[in-house]
């Protein structure tokens, strides 16, 4: 019998169901629905998207802010990793202050923070393992040699989500910033979240405070969604970059708010000869609806470590307040690599030193072995629809002598200068390109083509694949697993499809919502609209004893219906059970 079969798989003393608690109330109400009454749909949270759920307290965790939870977190992840091929698992962190050192995640895994959960980073260096320097950097950035593992770390993983109802991860960075300033660090400071060699990563709806150094660092990874995150660090804190996609492909950063002591987003791909020989670019990056405050750095920086190359970046709807520059390209002789096909559309900027800044003489090198003949190719840099006020200088564009930055296109830009602005608003050397509808008047190296070229620097027509790929790749279940499930619970059959959802009929009936699970797992793409419409409601047996049981039904309903409608590949669309 299906139910037993299901329970047989989920039976583990350690695995409690937080989700179940949340959902019991609607379930009891569901008894009413036996008569066919349609309940108001209710929503459960992202948690329900995994087959197994446990709380950090099941592993001896203590949220008193004093007890170290490093072991509890690692035990929890190790235990839950057994479910990777069985619907995946979620680790729930309840309200409380959870002191912890670095710990590693596993595949098909969700770390979910309650809104009042705070992960507090330990200040005991013994709680931070030391990793080798990244191969594309050759050395640590703070010190030659190794680097501390990030607070939340993952390597060689697939399908991992770090999320929560805006729960907090507090790096307690002051201690690290001081050690850094005093030159006392033996190793490079840790980041808050780092994924290496991983695929299908989502980081959403969390707040990151006071990182020791960079906040979010996906490296050598692909299919990454960063959505709805808040990053806050003092504007004078050293190297507290917001989000640093580094040698990654297919990244989408959306709806995030960053206040920091360094670049809000810093796109990277390795350093000098190490980055050149590693040769892994960052490409197909989408940045949307970013708000940045960073008085000493850029809203979006490309480089300075760009030796593996940066290509196909699309940034849209960027707001920066009191930030040093809007978009900045940082490079130098010895970097090699390229920055190509960069498109920025729609920036609103208040109080800024340089709206556009390109630097071909960025000083820092990994060591003295770089090749001075390794010249970067900077080409195809497009900016349009920019409004800025209180600006000291419109642009400072400095290419490399003998290696000009080419195909620069700037259009439809209105820059209001500050009362104390520099007399010459544009300075340009070793650059080449065009402008249209830009004020104040650009430098001669970027001649104005007249108003008919206003749309000259537009995005390419074809979208980047990231908006589709993520959804397709968040695969948990293979087709066989679905069919197995279906045959097991075949006593339920689809009886009716209404406009606002699926109606299910089994022995008994009830109503539930599947939209939130779907929302989270299909990552807010356009198709969600479609999904929502067909999946908002269904009928299930009222005396369902486990929440997971319902999830099975829900997914099944969705799948069955989509198969019926001839939608292909839907096993790929649904999040893992």
Binding site for ligand NAG (CB under 6 A): 46, 155-156, 163, 166, 197, 204-205, 207, 227-228, 230, 351, 385, 387, 390, 392, 412, 418, 454-455, 519-520
Bridge partners of 350, per DSSP, are 321, 389
Closer CB to ligand NAG, 12 or 348, in the complex: 348
58 and 526 in contact (C-beta within 8 Å)? no
- Going by C-alpha positions, the residue among 136, 135, 133 that lies closest to residue 144 is 133
Closer CB to ligand NAG, 204 or 331, in the complex: 204
560 and 486 in contact (C-beta within 8 Å)? yes
Closer CB to ligand NAG, 284 or 412, in the complex: 412
- Shortest Cβ distance from residue 372 to ligand NAG (Å)? 30
Closer CB to ligand NAG, 46 or 339, in the complex: 46
Compute the distance between CA of residue 111 and CA of residue 7 in angstroms, rounded to an integer. Answer: 23
Closer CB to ligand NAG, 90 or 227, in the complex: 227
- Shortest Cβ distance from residue 6 to ligand NAG (Å)? 26
Q: Which two tokens stand for residue 288?
A: 């949307």
- Shortest Cβ distance from residue 227 to ligand NAG (Å)? 5
358 and 320 in contact (C-beta within 8 Å)? no
Q: Give how far the C-alpha of residue 377 lies from the chain's centroid of Cα atoms, to the nearest Å.
A: 28
**Helix 547-564, helix 18-30: angle, nearest 10:** 70
Backbone angles phi, psi at 15, to 5 degrees: -90, 100
Closer CB to ligand NAG, 514 or 539, in the complex: 514
- Shortest Cβ distance from residue 347 to ligand NAG (Å)? 8
Alpha-carbon torsion (561, 533, 2, 15), positive or negative:
positive
CA distances from 550 to 6, 399, 506 (A): 11, 60, 12
- Shortest Cβ distance from residue 163 to ligand NAG (Å)? 5
- Shortest Cβ distance from residue 238 to ligand NAG (Å)? 22
Q: Which two tokens stand for residue 294?
A: 């960073």
Compute the distance between CA of residue 503 and CA of residue 518 in angstroms, rounded to an integer. Answer: 17
Residues near 16 by beta carbon (within 8 Å), at least 6 away in sequence: 53, 54, 55, 58
Closer CB to ligand NAG, 18 or 485, in the complex: 18
Bridge partners of 298, per DSSP, are 325
- Max CA distance (Å), the chain: 81
Q: How far apart are the first and last CA of the chain?
A: 19
- Shortest Cβ distance from residue 559 to ligand NAG (Å)? 22
3 and 545 in contact (C-beta within 8 Å)? yes
199 labelled catalytic: no
Phi-psi region of 228 (alpha: psi -120 to 50; beta: other; left: phi over 0): left
Compute the distance between CA of residue 328 and CA of residue 355 in angstroms, rounded to an integer. Answer: 8
Q: Cα-atom radius of gyration of the chain, to the nearest Å?
A: 26
Compute the distance between CA of residue 517 and CA of residue 499 in angstroms, rounded to an integer. Answer: 20
Q: Which of 75, 159, 246, 262 is catalytic?
A: 262
Closer CB to ligand NAG, 259 or 539, in the complex: 259
- Shortest Cβ distance from residue 500 to ligand NAG (Å)? 19
Closer CB to ligand NAG, 33 or 280, in the complex: 280
Cis before 304? omega within 30: yes
Q: Which two tokens stand for residue 97?
A: 């202050």
337 and 362 in contact (C-beta within 8 Å)? no
220 and 278 in contact (C-beta within 8 Å)? no
- Shortest Cβ distance from residue 135 to ligand NAG (Å)? 9
Residues with catalytic roles:
262
């Amino acid at each position: 019998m299906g139910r037993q079969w299901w329970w047989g798989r989920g039976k583990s003393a350690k695995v409690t169901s937080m989700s179940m608690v949340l959902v019991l109330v609607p379930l009891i109400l569901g008894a009413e629905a036996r008569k066919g009454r349609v309940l108001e749909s209710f929503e459960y949270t992202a948690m329900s998207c995994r087959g197994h759920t446990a709380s950090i307290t099941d592993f001896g965790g203590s949220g008193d802010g004093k007890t170290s939870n490093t072991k509890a977190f690692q035990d929890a992840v190790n235990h839950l990793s057994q479910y990777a091929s069985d619907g995946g698992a979620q680790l729930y962190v309840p309200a409380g202050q959870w002191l912890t050192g670095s710990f590693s995640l596993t595949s098909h895994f969700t770390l979910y923070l309650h809104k009042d959960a705070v992960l507090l980073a330990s200040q005991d260096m013994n709680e931070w393992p030391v990793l080798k320097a990244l191969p594309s950097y050759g050395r640590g950035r703070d010190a030659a040699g190794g680097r501390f593992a990030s607070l939340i770390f993952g390597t060689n993983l697939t399908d991992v989500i770090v999320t929560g109802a805006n729960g907090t991860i507090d790096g307690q960075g002051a201690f690290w910033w001081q050690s850094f300033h005093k030159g006392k660090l033996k190793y490079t400071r840790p980041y808050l979240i780092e994924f290496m060699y991983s695929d299908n990563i989502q980081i959403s709806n969390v707040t990151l405070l006071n990182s020791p150094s960079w906040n979010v660092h996906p490296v050598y990874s692909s299919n990454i969604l960063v959505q709805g995150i808040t990053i806050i660090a003092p504007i004078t804190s050293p190297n507290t970059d917001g989000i640093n996609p580094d040698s990654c492909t297919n990244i989408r950063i959306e709806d995030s708010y960053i206040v920091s002591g360094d670049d809000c987003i810093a796109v990277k791909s390795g350093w000098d000869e190490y980055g050149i020989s590693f040769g892994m670019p960052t490409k197909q990056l989408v940045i949307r609806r970013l708000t940045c405050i960073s008085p000493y750095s850029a809203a979006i920086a490309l480089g300075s470590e760009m030796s593996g190359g940066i290509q196909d970046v699309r940034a849209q709807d960027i707001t920066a307040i009191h930030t040093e520059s809007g978009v900045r390209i940082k490079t130098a002789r010895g970097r090699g690599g390229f920055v190509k096909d960069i498109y920025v559309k729609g920036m609103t900027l208040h109080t800024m030193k340089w709206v556009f800044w390109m630097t071909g003489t960025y000083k820092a090198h990994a060591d003295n072995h770089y090749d001075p003949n390794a010249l970067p190719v900077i080409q195809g840099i497009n900016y349009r629809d920019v409004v800025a006020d209180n600006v000291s200088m419109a642009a400072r564009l400095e290419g490399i002598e003998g290696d000009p930055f080419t195909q620069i296109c700037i259009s439809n830009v209105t820059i209001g200068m500050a009362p104390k602005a520099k007399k010459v608003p544009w300075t340009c050397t070793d650059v080449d390109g065009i402008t249209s509808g830009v004020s104040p008047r650009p430098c001669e190296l970027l001649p104005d083509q007249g108003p008919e070229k206003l749309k000259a620097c537009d995005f390419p027509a074809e979208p980047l694949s990231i908006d589709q790929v993520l959804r397709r790749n968040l695969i948990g279940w293979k087709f066989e697993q679905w069919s197995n499930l279906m045959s097991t619970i075949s006593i339920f059959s689809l009886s009716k499809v209404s406009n606002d959802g699926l109606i299910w009929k089994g022995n008994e009936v009830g109503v539930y919502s599947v939209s939130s699970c779907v929302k989270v797992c299909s990552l807010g793409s356009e198709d969600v609209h479609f999904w929502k419409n067909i999946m908002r409601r269904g009928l299930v047996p009222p005396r369902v004893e486990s929440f997971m049981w319902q999830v099975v039904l829900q997914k099944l309903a969705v799948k069955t219906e989509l198969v019926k409608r001839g939608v292909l590949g839907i096993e790929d669309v649904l999040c893992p059970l």
